């Protein structure tokens, strides 16, 4: 094992231990929480090292970056004998990239408006590769009411959920949020608790049968998120190390 591989393996083990400890504090099992590697601008080599260590979910922010990475990563997975990851889109998505997103991602976590949901549903319904399988989506909720941040406002969430639940080519499986930056990660606890409450409320509505997931918590606050019910945590720097520089992404 190279020094770099050893570092990735050590970080992965440390994150898993933190997930297990947070789950234990909440009276939950560690396997109730999925670790998603937020791999924006990380190299294929670094990502594959994490996959070799057992990471199964990758989250990318940009359609084009995923398109560049995915073939090489999946070819290496086949060559090295481990299963390819499931790919989640965790960045904002433009409607004109919906068709490409459906081709590249197993899950889209950032649906925040009906027009985007319509575009994804149309692309998923037309996708021969999906063979009639619906696209799993999360609804991104802007619980901090930050005008510059993506996400549906709380007062519009029920209407968006009902709209998406009526689209046969989509399956709403979760909610996602990115809280506002705070000095103390524990200050985000009420935000995470509110997303859990919304999940539980919407799961009782028509079309809510598959709504189980809560994607919340990143490197700085994922332990708090787990204590408040997170089922997916998006971890980048604590897993992969510092991001290498990249000029631009689209």
- So where are the chain's domains? 3-240
pLDDT average, residue stretch 121-135: 93
pLDDT beyond 50 at 235: yes
CB proximity list for 35: less than 8 A, separation 6 or greater: 15, 16, 19, 55, 57, 233, 235, 239
- 119 CB-side CA count, 13 A: 16
Quote the CA–CA distance of 33 and 202 in Å, as a whole number: 20
Mean per-residue pLDDT for 52-62? 96
With a pLDDT cut of 90, the percent of the chain lying above it is 85
Tell me the average pLDDT across 207-226: 97
State the average pLDDT over residues 22-31: 98
At residue 250, the pLDDT reads 42
Q: What percent of the chain has pLDDT over 70?
A: 96
Averaged pLDDT for residues 4-26: 93
Task: Give the pLDDT confidence score for residue 148 in this predicted structure.
Answer: 76
Segment 69-118, tens digit of pLDDT:
999 999 999 999 988 999 999 999 999 999 999 999 999 999 999 999 99
Q: What is the dihedral of CA 184, 186, 188, 193, to 10 degrees?
A: 180
**Torsion sign, CA atoms 90, 160, 222, 136:** negative
Using CA atoms, how far apart are residues 164 and 152, in angstroms rounded to an integer?
13
Task: Return the pLDDT at 5.
Answer: 65
Long-range contacts of 181-188 (CB under 8 A, 24+ apart): 185/220, 185/221, 185/223, 185/224, 186/224, 188/221, 188/224, 188/225
The architecture of the domain spanning 3-240 is: Alpha-Beta Barrel (3.20)
Report, as an integer, the average pLDDT of 220-230.
Answer: 97
Q: How confident is the model at residue 249 (pLDDT cuts 50, 70, 90)?
A: very low
Tell me the per-residue pLDDT of 131-190, one tens digit each, with 9 for 90 and over: 889 999 999 999 987 777 889 999 999 999 999 999 999 999 999 999 988 999 999 999
> What letter would DSSP give residue 83?
P
Residues 162 and 164: their CA atoms lie apart, in Å, by 6
């Amino acid at each position: 094992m190279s020094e770099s591989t050893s570092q990735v393996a050590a970080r992965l083990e440390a994150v898993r231990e933190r997930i297990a400890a947070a789950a234990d504090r909440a009276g939950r099992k560690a396997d109730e929480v999925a670790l998603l590697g937020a791999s924006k601008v990380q190299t294929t080599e670094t990502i594959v090292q994490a996959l070799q260590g057992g990471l199964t979910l990758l989250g990318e922010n940009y359609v084009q970056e995923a398109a560049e990475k995915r073939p090489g990563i999946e070819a290496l997975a086949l060559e090295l004998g481990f299963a390819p990851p499931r790919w989640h889109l965790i960045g904002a998505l433009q409607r004109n990239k919906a068709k490409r997103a459906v081709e590249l991602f197993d899950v889209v976590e950032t649906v925040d408006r009906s027009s985007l949901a319509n575009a994804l549903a149309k692309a998923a319904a037309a996708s021969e590769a999906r063979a009639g399988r619906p696209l799993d989506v999360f609804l991104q909720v802007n619980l901090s009411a930050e005008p510059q941040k993506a996400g549906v406002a709380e007062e519009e969430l029920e209407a968006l959920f009902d709209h998406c639940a009526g689209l046969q080519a989509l399956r709403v499986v979760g909610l996602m949020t990115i809280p506002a930056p705070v000095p103390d990660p524990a200050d985000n606890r009420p935000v995470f608790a509110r997303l859990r409450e919304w999940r539980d409320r919407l799961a009782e509505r028509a079309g809510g049968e598959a709504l189980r997931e809560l994607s919340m918590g990143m490197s700085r606050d994922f332990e708090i998120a787990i204590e408040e019910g997170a089922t997916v945590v998006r971890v980048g720097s604590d897993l992969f190390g510092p991001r290498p520089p990249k000029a631009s992404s689209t």
